[in-house]
Structure 1
């Protein structure tokens, strides 16, 4: 483990990225726990206010991202400054993306259906950064054997082909399949081979004169959504908390 960590993380200068990812995920988890405790009226936590103004945690998140970002570009990949900047940036990114839906909609939608977008963005971001971090062709690794070069070349080729399949899946309207297909082999291939979702660029262009294909695509999308909508919602509720009922949600104050 120590040899792998040194060869694939420390030597190519990826330790700041590892620290940023760990800080990002940990900050999101802690923030969600605290916010859910505030929502339930438990614990010593409460909303932060200044002069009657509710300060959302996206505000300190932006400040930390600015400090960490400028600190990172002004330092090398090695040393305490780079590591500290990475941690600050990861914490800031966790706070900002936890309220991504608020920034997107410019409205307090944290505990609504629209607020689920924050959880989706955090999961996708962590997955993509993990892909970069765990890449088997890190820049900066020296003294590779011929076998290691061959193995890494094969991995690069596999990832490149898989990425092309992911682009096809994305054009078919299968966003989650495309994203996770870049990480997990064969998922993107399955998404690329299956029928496109109705309304996707692929369906609009290639199913325009194929009514049978359009009908099959609508039927498959209906069955897929009916099967997976429930488990997907329960997974998101487990991570980010269940949204409020729109009929009972208070007009002001999200927690």
Structure 2
């Protein structure tokens, strides 16, 4: 265990990233627990207000993100100070992304269906950072050999190809697959070669005169959403609490 830790975390300088990820996830879970207690009227916690103004926790989150981010950039990959900065940054990001939907809609949608977007962003962010900790690099650069990495043309071509694949998946209306595909190109390739979702730019452009493809895409999207939306909603309700009806 000690050898694995030194080789995969300490030597590559990934300890700050690991600390940031843990503090980010823990902060999100603690914050959601507190807000659910406030919503239920239990415990000692209450909303923070000053002069009739409700101070959302995204505000201290932004401040902590700025302080921790600049502190981590200004430090080295190793050292106590960099570790502290990474933890501060993770806490700030956890507070900010917990109210991502509020920032996106510029409205207090925390306990509405729109507020579920915060949970989706948190889960996606944690997954991407976790993949980077496991050794995946953006646009599949980690798949190149040491000789290929020294060839700038090969690196540039690899990045451009993987970017186009991820972009194609995005144009086909598969945003989550496209984002994950930036880290794991094979995932984006699956989204790029399959049928586009109805209403996506690709479907509007290429399925307009192809009724069979349009109908097949609608059926496939319906079956996919019917299968996974219920699971996703249950998970979101379990983690973050059910929205108001």
TM-score range normalised by the length of the shorter chain: 0.7 to 0.9
RMSD: 2.6
Q: How far off its partner does 1:64 sit?
A: 0.6
Q: How far off its partner does 1:50 sit?
A: 2.0
Q: Distance in 2 between matches of 1:114 and 1:17?
A: 29
Q: Corresponding residue for 2:172? A: 172
**CA contact 1:64–1:88 (8 Å) conserved in 2:** yes
Q: Corresponding residue for 1:226? A: 226
SS at match of 2:77: coil
1:11-160 correspondence to structure 2 within 5 Å:
11-135=11-135
Q: Distance in 2 between matches of 1:183 and 1:36?
A: 33
Q: How far off its partner does 1:198 sit?
A: 1.1
**CA contact 1:8–1:136 (8 Å) conserved in 2:** no
**CA contact 2:136–2:183 (8 Å) conserved in 1:** no
Change (3 A) 1:5 1:182: farther
Gaps of 5+ in 1: 138-147, 246-255
SS at match of 1:170: helix
Q: How far off its partner does 1:163 sit?
A: 6.9
Name the count of aligned residue pairs: 230
Q: How far off its partner does 1:182 sit?
A: 5.7
Q: How far off its partner does 1:179 sit?
A: 3.6
Q: How far off its partner does 1:149 sit?
A: 6.6
Q: Distance in 1 between matches of 2:12 and 2:223?
A: 46
**CA contact 2:166–2:185 (8 Å) conserved in 1:** no
Gaps of 5+ in 2: 138-144, 150-154
Encode CA deviations 1:63-91: one digit per residue, 9 max, x unaligned.
Answer: 11111112112211111111111000000
Task: Give the structure with the larger helix fraction.
Answer: 2
Q: How far off its partner does 1:52 sit?
A: 2.8
| TM-score, length-scaled by structure 1 | 0.80
1:181-220 correspondence to structure 2 within 5 Å:
187-220=187-220
**CA contact 1:36–1:241 (8 Å) conserved in 2:** yes
**CA contact 1:21–1:129 (8 Å) conserved in 2:** yes
Q: Distance in 1 between matches of 2:136 and 2:108?
A: 41
